[in-house]
Amino acid sequence: MQHELILILDFGSQYTQLIARRVREQGVYCEIHPFHLSVEKIVEMNPKGVILSGGPSSVTDEDAPRVDSDFYDNIDAPILGICYGMQMLAIDLGGKSEPAEAREYGHAKLKRLSGKTSLFKDLPEKLDVWMSHGDHVTELPEGFNKTATTGEVITAIENPERQIFAVQFHPEVSHTPKGKDILRNYLFDICGCHGDWTPKQFIEEEVEKIKSIVGETGKVVCGLSGGVDSTVAATLVHEAIGDRQICIFVNNGLLRHREFEDTLKLYKDKLHLNVVGVDASKEFYEELKNITDPEEKRKIIGRKFIEVFDAEAHKIDGDVEYLVQGTLYPDVIESVSLRGSSVTIKSHHNVGGLPEKMNFKLIEPLRELFKDEVRVIGKDLDIPDEILQRHPFPGPGLAVRILGDITPEKVELLQSVDKIFIEELHENDLYNETWQAFAVLLPIQSVGVMGDFRTYEKTIALRAITSTDGMTADWARLPHDFLAKVSSRITSEIRGVNRVVYDISSKPPSTIEWE
């Protein structure tokens, strides 16, 4: 089925994905593509509307990113320019944008000008909006009206005849409280969307698609990790082909306390997945012996995982042509790089490498979805909150939370400490307030006192962060009394730990994990 489509052309703004999420929240499907998508391709996609995103460049730069020169004449769908998008379209259509005297960043009060404008329909005369720009429009292109200002600055313009609208502020951020209404006016009144993007429909369509790809007898294999994405992907595929999907859940010995046993049970008893649990802890510990370098740990774990998975997949009777992966939309958006390629900070591993190594074709039922949408789909598929609300957990697991070499004893100690921290977070309704929370075992010992005795024992660092996507993060302001309780439980219940510290670093400059 063809959905109504809103196309977002990305000029490199940090908020582009947020625009997409705001559009989808209103039940309208949208896709992000780089700004240089050809006009021919855009016409072929037949969007109901095209949004031009913000971006870090100055429109006055010679090499500033631009849409093709014949864009405006060939696109019939209503256009909405946001920030950089507004400045660019103003220049492209014969107006002027210039650097402002000072960069405007943060809250501003917008005043609507009289006259009818469908973009601000039913909204108050004055609005709080969020600005982040260096340039601004100083001269309107022919046929355009000024529809709002903030002080001297032109904040919104439109050409109703050509159905081109533009705003200087960011309607997609939460600091623009009426931003959602502005986007709703654009989507429904201006573009004429109906909102045909619903979880139920997504599931139905995806199930049909998977059925037709795999056929009547085909088999697929799926690697489960205990996390949200692989679980939702597998459950969706299960709806389509049942037990012809064989799931493999590997215990690398680096999972949380009882996670392997409990999640395996949940997969089998609650979600009725056809799943094989493989306990390969010993093999992983063997390979990780005396390894201290974080990147080397990651590589070993990645390689070993593929070996174990490969061996298990070969035991399946009959031909397995497909591999199910929980790839999400942010992983497949072609990113606009205006500042050169980015460097690798950490080599992340999930089940990467498997398709090449084993010659699989891929089934990626979540590749059109954002994480929050995956949770909604998961809820519709009756996956318990215990999985859907679970914090992200790195592929290499506790290996990157045990600084230095890894032994089964250290893993067990960290599992017990982590369990206390997570238990208390749940108990105090703080688990969902944090994006990720965990304990780190440090490779140092420090002096303490217990009873009348001097101790010289291990140190635990607690890390809890808030974030929206893990790209940036802030340390969570957990209540002092809560931290006191966790610290006291750890030092009294866990032998060998006499000190607990709380990590108060943000990302950047730190990363979320310690390795």
Q: Which stretch binds ligand XMP (CB under 6 A): 93-101, 267-275, 392-400, 425-433?
A: 392-400
Catalytic residue among 30, 83, 191, 222: 83
Q: Which is nearer to ligand XMP, 434 or 487 (CB)?
A: 434
| Contact status: 396 vs ligand XMP (CB under 6 A) | yes
What's the chain's Rg over C-alpha atoms? 26
Distance CA 357, CA 414 (A): 33
Would you state the torsion angle of the CA atoms of residues 289, 295, 298, 300, taken in this order, to the nearest 10 degrees? -50
| Contact status: 13 vs ligand XMP (CB under 6 A) | no
Query: Can you tell me which of 395, 414, 425, 490 binds ligand XMP, judged by CB under 6 A?
Result: 395
For residue 26 the two structure tokens come to 């209103």
Cβ neighbors of 16 (< 8 A, separation 6 or more) are 8, 10, 32, 53, 54
Catalytic residue among 4, 158, 172, 368: 172
Q: Which is nearer to ligand XMP, 434 or 498 (CB)?
A: 434
Distance CA 320, CA 215 (A): 12
| Contact status: 299 vs ligand XMP (CB under 6 A) | no
With CA atoms as reference, report the closest residue to 78 among 109, 104, 52: 52
Catalytic residue among 170, 238, 257, 391: 170
Query: Can you tell me which of 470, 482, 501, 506 binds ligand XMP, judged by CB under 6 A?
Result: 470
Q: Which is nearer to ligand XMP, 171 or 226 (CB)?
A: 226
Query: Can you tell me which of 392, 404, 448, 496 binds ligand XMP, judged by CB under 6 A?
Result: 392
Query: Can you tell me which of 298, 304, 463, 499 binds ligand XMP, judged by CB under 6 A?
Result: 298
Interaxial angle between packed helices 199-214 and 228-241, expressed in degrees from 0 to 180 and rounded to the nearest 10: 60
Cβ neighbors of 204 (< 8 A, separation 6 or more) are none
Minimum separation from the CB atom of position 219 to ligand XMP (A): 26
Distance CA 38, CA 34 (A): 10
Minimum separation from the CB atom of position 227 to ligand XMP (A): 9
222 classed as catalytic: no
Q: Which stretch binds ligand XMP (CB under 6 A): 94-102, 239-247, 256-264, 394-402?
A: 394-402
Q: Which is nearer to ligand XMP, 87 or 231 (CB)?
A: 231
Distance CA 477, CA 460 (A): 18
| Contact status: 512 vs ligand XMP (CB under 6 A) | yes
The contact pattern for ligand XMP, residues 256-295, with x = CB under 6 A and - = no contact, is: ----------------------------------------
Minimum separation from the CB atom of position 421 to ligand XMP (A): 15
| Contact status: 230 vs ligand XMP (CB under 6 A) | no
| Contact status: 448 vs ligand XMP (CB under 6 A) | no
| Contact predicate 294/400, CB 8 Å | yes
Of 343-362, binders to ligand XMP (CB under 6 A) are 345-346, 348-350
| Contact status: 226 vs ligand XMP (CB under 6 A) | no
Minimum separation from the CB atom of position 374 to ligand XMP (A): 15
- Count of positions (residues) in the chain: 515
For residue 461 the two structure tokens come to 């660092």
30 classed as catalytic: no
For 350-371, give the DSSP string.
Answer: SSTTHHHHHTPEEE-TTTT--H
- Provide the CB-side half-sphere exposure for 37 (13 A, CA): 23
| Contact status: 394 vs ligand XMP (CB under 6 A) | yes
Q: Give the residue ranges of DSSP H helices in 268-370.
A: 281-288, 294-313, 329-332, 354-358
Q: Helix or strand or coil: residue 211? A: helix
Distance from CA of residue 11 to its chain's centroid?
Answer: 19
| Contact status: 54 vs ligand XMP (CB under 6 A) | no
83 classed as catalytic: yes
Distance CA 480, CA 276 (A): 43
| Contact status: 436 vs ligand XMP (CB under 6 A) | yes
Q: Which residues are catalytic?
A: 83, 170, 172
Binding site for ligand XMP (CB under 6 A): 298, 345-346, 348-350, 392, 394-396, 400, 436, 470, 507, 511-513
